[in-house]
Chain A
Amino acid sequence: MSRAKLTALIGPWFGFGSAETRSDRVLFRLFEFIVVFWVALYAWTWASQIAALDQSVEATGLAQHIDLSFLRSNGRSWLIAGLISVFALAGIIRILRPAYTAALFLLHVQFSARFVTPPIDHSSHVIGLCLLGLAIAAIGFKSGPNRRKFALAFAWLSMGFGYLVSAATKLLVAGPRWADGTHLWMWINERATDIAARTGEFEPNVAQQVLLDNLWLATAVLTVGLVCHASGFFLWFRQTRHIQAAALLVVHAGIVMLLGTSPQPAMWLLALFAVPWERVNAAFASRP
């Protein structure tokens, strides 16, 4: 497909020409606040993890090319966390256009320096992709409405693509048998053993016990999760976005309940996008 045709097909989707409503601005402000809040929180959390590292870790990202172990000493990881926070703040109050780009780069350095498996919090990828959108928007678009529209559009595109890729990887690596309920049993046991080792105690909650007792139900749960990931592209369309976001929110809530993880930052964004903003906008418009 030629570039012109691609632009004609996808270009209007960004809605650059349309007027920006009050609810659009509210949505963007909340979105940007959530992303910046979690960027800062990740920066300090990862700084503490890097400072506590006492052995080599599996290299990823930039760490495959540069030895980042020097970040572990002399409080360097804390310094980077401070810089990220300052850049994130500079981004949100718009005093430096490349501020979000700098924050993104430094956060990548931190992620590469502390990368360990397991567990990986995938929400950080979602927050990172949204930060990338904000960074590109700040540099690539001068007008406020266009910058906001692009950042949100990039978030929907990248989140939908991320969930789609996640489903595709599962199917490519494990095939349809990925949804076998015994796999969920293994994950529940893995998390349970982690918690039991760390805290000395673990009691399964009702949901975990029910799924450990019913293989078919465990298989059904994984199947629904896989389908919800594969249909991530519904986040791209205005008409289906809030329904898809709500479905993914339920999937994340299920992960929290079954694997005993803390609520993930991606849930904040999904909750935000699960709001039918079209109706909110209509309600705003009907007010005198």
Chain B
Amino acid sequence: MEPKAFARTISRKRIRRKRLPAPERAVRIVTASLVAYLLLAGLHKGEFWPFSFYPDYAQAGSPWTRALVRELPTESAVLETLQAAWPRQQETIYSDVLPGKPLALSDHDLSSRLLTQYVAEPAWTPERLAALAVLFEREGLEDRQLILFRARGEPDGATTGLTITPVAFISSGGATPLFLGATESDDG
């Protein structure tokens, strides 16, 4: 296309855009935004901020796992009690049925997300236990004796479906595996 003709075309387009009435422009923008919303969220696992299909709360009843840490007064007595008589299922985290007293993770700058990754794995390895022990080597926790619990929520139709299982004992001597999960042994 000749440069002059090209310039005229561009100029005409500009004039046309300028003259587009506000309602028509608004309808076009909204339509384009709707298409962008559906395409961008659809092509990015339902999440392209600020466009979202809000998939997380749609997963109703999905099992979840979290880590809880409690502090024990003495090592041997409580551990023996745990080994001998840990109930298969605790349905509440509010009451005093769990041994020891709770350790607030935020007070010690411990990441609950990171700890959840440790308890979500089904089996311990020496490396994972060593890494767990290192995680608790911090000021204020030097001589503490701690138990790491796995809290798991699963829908069972009748109860609130909360199961709490002790998975590791942590002290200045390192981390020791406890039950590898009541569910695994139940299934076995």
Instruction: Confirm or deny: B123 has a beta carbon within 8 angstroms of a beta carbon on chain A.
Output: no
Q: Are A12 and B93 in contact (CB under 8 A)?
A: no
Q: Are A189 and B160 in contact (CB under 8 A)?
A: yes
Instruction: Confirm or deny: A283 has a beta carbon within 8 angstroms of a beta carbon on chain B.
Output: no
B residues within 8 A CB of A154? Answer: 29-30, 33
Instruction: Confirm or deny: B56 has a beta carbon within 8 angstroms of a beta carbon on chain A.
Output: yes
Given A7-B23, A14-B22, A212-B160: A196 in contact with B102 (beta carbons within 8 A) = yes
Q: Are A192 and B94 in contact (CB under 8 A)?
A: yes
Q: Are A141 and B54 in contact (CB under 8 A)?
A: no
A residues within 8 A CB of B102? Answer: 196, 200-201
- Complexed CA–CA distance, A3 and B25 (Å): 11
Instruction: Confirm or deny: B107 has a beta carbon within 8 angstroms of a beta carbon on chain A.
Output: yes
Instruction: Confirm or deny: A138 has a beta carbon within 8 angstroms of a beta carbon on chain B.
Output: no
A-B residue pairs, 6 tightest by C-beta: A128-B50, A11-B23, A200-B104, A200-B102, A173-B58, A183-B60
| In-complex Cβ contact of A194 among B33, B61, B112 (8 A) | B112
Residues 91-130 of A, flagged 1 when their CB comes within 8 A of B and 0 if not, give: 0000000000000100110011001111010101111110
Interface hub of A11, A107, A183, A197 (most chain B Cβ within 10 A): A197
Instruction: Confirm or deny: A74 has a beta carbon within 8 angstroms of a beta carbon on chain B.
Output: no
Instruction: Confirm or deny: A284 has a beta carbon within 8 angstroms of a beta carbon on chain B.
Output: no
Q: Are A182 and B157 in contact (CB under 8 A)?
A: yes
A residues within 8 A CB of B29? Answer: 136, 140, 150, 154
Q: Are A169 and B22 in contact (CB under 8 A)?
A: no
Given A7-B27, A14-B22: A61 in contact with B58 (beta carbons within 8 A) = no
Closest-CB distance, B129 to chain A (whole angstroms):
19
Of A78-86, A158-166, A239-247, A268-276, the one with at least 4 CB within 8 A of chain B: A158-166
- Complexed CA–CA distance, A117 and B84 (Å): 37
| In-complex Cβ contact of A189 among B23, B114, B162 (8 A) | B162
| In-complex Cβ contact of B26 among A11, A174, A190 (8 A) | A11
Q: Are A6 and B47 in contact (CB under 8 A)?
A: no
